Amino acid sequence: MQHDGAVAVIVVDNPPVNALKHEVRAGMLENFTKAAEDKSVEAIVLTGAGRTFMAGADITEFGKPMKPPGLSEVIAAIEKIQKPTIAAVHGTPLGGGLEVTLACHFRVAAPGTRLGLPEIKLGIIPGAGGTQLLPRLVGVEKSLAMILSGDPIPAKDALAVGLVDEIIEGDLVKGAVAFAKKVIAEKRPLKHVRDLDEKIAPFRSHPDKFNEAAANVAKKSRGLEAPLAAIEAVRAAVTMPVDDGLKRERELFVKLVGGEQSKAQRYIFFAEREAAKIPDMPAGLRPREVTRAAVIGAGTMGGGISMSFANAGIPVTVIETNEEALKRGFDTIQKNYQISVQRGALKQEEADKRFSLLKGATSMEAAKDADIVIEAVFEEMEIKKQVFGALDKLAKPRAVLATNTSYLNVDQIAQITKRPKEVLGTHFFSPANVMKLLEIVRGKETAPDVLATAMAVGRKIGKVPVVVGVCHGFVGNRMLSPRQNQAERLLLEGALPRDVDAAAVEFGFPMGPFAMSDLAGIDVGWRIRKALGTRNEIADQLADMGRYGQKTGRGFYIYEKGSRSPINDPEVEEIIGAASKRLGIPRRQIDKKEIVERLIFPMINEGAKILDEGIAYRASDIDVIWVYGYGWPIWRGGPMYYADHVGLAYVRDQLAHYAKVSGNKSLDPSPLLTRLAAENGSFASFGAKKSAA
């Protein structure tokens, strides 16, 4: 604690993010009590050292016995203080950090501060008053939006809704002390957030508003428990006296924090951060500077990738084969920005600013100034080699050369250049401007600082980068393939597309494998298989008939014009029945449990092979890939986490059983799965051993 005249300044210093661990809570309680009792202190400022004000409870303490004082106790003590208390915030005051500020009479913020209650992303709700106090301060609708999205709001929005009282330009603590002195001099009335009523009163007579919100959330939250609990807690803020509401919030919080969903979501939080750590990188390695990018190809992926760079303020040159293709690409980008503006997600001037960072060109020469070049041309080795051959000649020395290939061998592409050290894969997911996952494919010669640069760029453009090794389909698509095979196999054995899709959706995926094929286009896989000389029984028959999916109005389902809702098609059922007959496969009733296990367990089996081969560094990397790239339900923690959860011996036995039932050798449990199951081990411990090595 420091003193500036009659103002005491309490500084929380627990790097890197001032998480509210036990010592911080105890320290705050002690210092606030001292300052409250000290007659020479007339006001108290609370601030955080380092890069941010408190970013919330210490997540590593969840699931363990709580050492007193609890956060609620600290907050109750602050609320009782009769001298002005001022929270001076910067960086990311989040979760419990923001809740502490709500116990203070005033809040001032540095410009650039982002304030929020992100608990929902961890499968919990605010547990130290957030759901009760925020509505009293900023109103019910704004609170619900913040609590349900978990997204922080910028300081200027916080000022507009009354969450902060002043934005301090220049030195934050000095400004906060000056603010405190003003409050003392003016004898300003102290604002006790818990006593405010004006903003919640109108909702007391409109319970229907909550019912609407609950119905909407139930539709969107797909299996998640926390969003409905959050609505219930905010409803309690409106319908109950504040202390009863706080009690209700606490009950809901305690139940969620002890539950399986939050455990899985916390696991993913740390898994995402773990993925940033590459085991064998030299210490002190610095990423190269990237101020300009070039993207080759303005198709589906090139357009989205270019937007990701422009959205992060990095100028991009987009290169196409001709003006017409370039125009098509730019028109799509422009349309995407317009949609965001119409939805209110983006201001027109911001859209214009981003669009102005994109320049088009029809000559590869235009890539010569770029610090990173990302190739997103057709998925054909010969074309990729041509592009990299040309880039090798003209790209500036030390430019990072990346391919967005889905399946092709990155080492072969690198070998066409005289600088294979500078080459790697950056595998984005569609739509690339939206999807957060970025697989970074490390070639056998990729230089460590090139890898570090790609990771840093990935983070800068808002992605979650995960390093993977070279193999057909890398991690995500390679694991998707056995799932698709089993989905088709289930059709031949007796299921219908709607049965398989319904089971996948019930498990928690946003859509089932057949709805997904229809969305992506059945023709994509059909063309690849044609080139490889292989064939899928049902999908390829549909593609032969011109049934490519949504784009042709017919695929595994029928789609009415302008609609994306799948309708069952008796013709497809006939095709499936005839195929079973032709192949001599007896059709039988297949229950949901078998469908889910036949979709999920072969993926886990493939994941085990991927781990064993060192294509992924750790099981948690695979989980991050599936959660951020393929819609794996986050509350189930990812396929490898799920496998550990249901037990590896069970997964092994079921795979062996299904291999027998369906006569399908590819379902045989992999050596690593078999070994870990026999040892009573887990994928989590296997990953940990490898990265510690």
Residue range at the interface with ligand 3HC (CB under 6 A); choices 1-9, 91-99, 210-218, 574-582: 91-99
* Comparison of 270 and 650: residue with beta carbon closer to ligand 3HC: 270
Can residue 92 be called a binding residue for ligand 3HC (CB under 6 A)?
yes
CB 303 within 8 A of CB 333: yes
Query: Which residues lie closer than 8 Å to 342 by C-beta, 6 or more apart?
Result: none
- CB closer to ligand 3HC out of 270 and 378: 270
Cα torsion 561, 566, 572, 573: sign: negative
Stretch that binds ligand 3HC, among 92-100, 388-396, 513-521, 638-646 (CB under 6 A): 92-100
Q: Name the phi and psi angles at 181, rounded to 5.
A: -65, -35
The reply to whether 14 sits near ligand NAI by the rule CB under 6 A is no
**Paired tokens of 239:** 């319908």
Residue 170, Cβ density class (10 Å: 0-12 exposed, 13-18 middle, ≥19 buried): exposed
- In this chain, which of 89, 115, 298, 351 binds ligand NAI, going by CB under 6 A? 298
16 binds, among ligand 3HC, ligand NAI, none (CB under 5 to 8 A by kind): ligand 3HC
> Residue 231 to residues 141, 212, 316: CA-CA distances in angstroms?
11, 10, 42
The residue written with tokens 């016995």 in the block is 65
Centre a 10 Å sphere on the Cβ of residue 502 and count the other Cβ atoms it contains: 15
Q: Site map for ligand NAI, 407-446, x if CB under 6 A?
A: ---------------------xxx----------------
Which residue, 21 or 359, has its beta carbon nearer to ligand 3HC? 21
Burial 1-13 (b: 16+ CB within 10 A, else e): eeebeebbbbbbe
- Candidates 180, 294, 301, 538: give the one binding ligand NAI (CB under 6 A): 301
| Contacting residue, 374, 387, 400, 437, with ligand NAI by CB under 6 A | 387
- Give residues 19-58 in contact with ligand 3HC (rule: CB under 6 A): 19, 55-58
Q: Which stretch binds ligand NAI (CB under 6 A): 27-35, 93-101, 163-171, 298-306?
A: 298-306
Report, in Å, the least distance between residue 384 CB and ligand NAI: 7
Contacts of 41 (CB under 8 A, 6+ apart): 3, 6, 7, 8, 35, 83
The closest of 569, 547, 546 to 558, measured between CA atoms, is 569
Does residue 60 bind ligand 3HC (CB under 6 A)? yes
Distance CA 634, CA 692 (A): 26
**If binding is defined by CB under 6 A, does position 481 make contact with ligand NAI?**
no
| 94, interface contact from ligand 3HC, ligand NAI, none, CB < 5-8 Å by kind | ligand 3HC
Tell me if 394 contacts ligand NAI by CB under 6 A: no
Write out the H or E segment, with its range, that includes residue 108. Answer: strand 106-109
C-alpha distances (whole Å) from 199 to each of 129, 162, 194, 361, 631 are 16, 11, 12, 54, 37
Placement of tokens 């010569």 in the chain: 368
Among 48, 118, 420, 633, binds ligand 3HC (CB under 6 A): 118
For position 297 contacting ligand NAI by CB under 6 A, the verdict is yes
Using CA atoms, how far apart are residues 186 and 189, in angstroms rounded to an integer? 9
If the CB atoms of residues 122 and 603 are measured against ligand 3HC, the closer one turns out to be 122
Look at residue 452 and give its three-state secondary structure. helix
Which of ligand NAI, ligand 3HC, none is residue 387 near (CB under 5 to 8 Å by kind)? ligand NAI
Whether 644 contacts 623, CB under 8 Å: no
Question: Which of ligand NAI, ligand 3HC, none is residue 127 near (CB under 5 to 8 Å by kind)?
Answer: ligand 3HC
Asked about 186 being catalytic, the answer comes back as no
Q: Which two tokens stand for residue 477?
A: 């698509």
Known active-site residue 99: yes
Measured distance CA(42)–CA(584) in Å, rounded: 87
Pick what 383 binds: ligand NAI, ligand 3HC, none; C-beta below 5 to 8 Å, kind-dependent. Answer: ligand NAI
Residue 497 has, within 13 A of its CA and on its CB side, a CA count of 26
Catalytic residue among 37, 42, 73, 119: 119
In angstroms, how far is the first alpha carbon of the chain from the final one? 43
Among ligand NAI, ligand 3HC, none, what does residue 469 contact (CB within 5–8 Å per kind)? none
Which of residues 14, 149, 239, 300 is near ligand NAI by CB under 6 A? 300
Contacts of 349 (CB under 8 A, 6+ apart): none
Chosen residue from 84, 96, 443, 473 binding ligand 3HC by CB under 6 A: 96
Size of the site for ligand NAI (CB under 6 A): 23
Residue 383 interacting with ligand NAI (CB under 6 A): yes
Helices (DSSP H) in 225-347: which residue ranges?
226-239, 242-257, 260-275, 300-311, 323-342
Q: Which is nearer to ligand NAI, 296 or 451 (CB)?
A: 296
Q: Is 457 helix (H, G, I), strand (E, B) or coil?
A: helix
| Annotated active-site residue in 99, 249, 320, 493 | 99
Least distance from ligand NAI to the Cβ atom of residue 195, Å = 54
295 binds ligand NAI, rule: CB under 6 A: no
Q: Which one among 50, 287, 299, 553 touches ligand NAI, defined by CB under 6 A? A: 299
Residues 255-284 binding ligand 3HC (CB under 6 A) are 270, 273
Contact 522, 543 (CB under 8 A): yes
Question: Is residue 123 close enough to count as binding ligand 3HC by CB under 6 A?
Answer: no
Q: Would you count residue 108 as binding ligand 3HC (CB under 6 A)? A: no
Which residue is listed with tokens 């050292």?
A: 49
The footprint of ligand NAI (CB under 6 A) covers 296-302, 319-321, 325, 376-379, 383, 387, 404-406, 428-430
The footprint of ligand 3HC (CB under 6 A) covers 16-17, 19, 55-60, 71, 92, 94-96, 99, 118-119, 122, 126-128, 130, 270, 273
Catalytic residues, by residue number, are: 99, 119
